[in-house]
Amino acid sequence: MIRPVDALAPKVLFKGQNYDSENPVNRRFERRLALLNAGSISIITGAATMLIARSYTSSWKHASWFGIGAGIITMLFAAPRFLYKAGIKAYTKEKEMDVFTKEKEVQKKLLSDVDEAIQNHSEDLPEKLENYSKSKEKSIPNPSVKPFRYRNLLAQS
C-alpha cells in the first residue's frame, strides 16, 4: 500500500550512492572475527585445564584459577597470530575485489560506449562491439582448455 507523504511520515533517506565500485571487505569485521576465534580457543583451553587441574587440586576454586590462567596465557599467544592471519586475508581479499570491481567498471564503460554508439548511429560501432566482445571472451572460461593440474593426467592416458 502506498501512503502519501506528510509531515508525520518518516523521512525517506535515498542517497543515491553507487556501491558497485566500493570494496565490500570490512577489516574491522575480520579483526573482530579473529579475536572471537582466539577467545573461543582460549575459553576451551581454560575449561580443559580446569577439568584436568580438578583431579590434582582439592577444590574447584583452585582448579578454576588454573583454568583462568591457562585461558589468559592462551589468549596472549593466540590473539596476535589470529590477528596477523586475518590482516593478511583481508588484504588479499581487498586486492581480489579491487580487480573484480575495476573489471566491472571497464565492462560498464564499454557497454555504455556501445549503447551510446547505437543511439547516435556512430560509425565506430563495429570497433566498440569488437572491444566489448573481447572483454566478454576474457571473462568467460573456455571449456576446451583444461586446467593446468589436469594436463599431466590427460597426457598420461
Reported pTM: 0.50
Q: What is the pLDDT of residues 94-107, one digit of tens each?
A: 877 777 777 777 77
Output helix, strand, coil percentages for the chain, rounded to the nearest 5: 70, 0, 30
Place of cell 571449456: 143
Give the dihedral of Cα atoms 56, 62, 66, 68; nearest 10 deg. 150
The single-letter DSSP state of residue 140 is S
Q: What is the pLDDT of residues 19-73, one digit of tens each?
A: 555 666 788 888 999 999 999 999 999 999 999 999 888 888 889 999 999 999 9
Q: How many residues does the chain have?
A: 157
51/30 Cα distance (integer angstroms): 32
144 burial level (CB within 10 Å; 0-12, 13-18, 19+): exposed
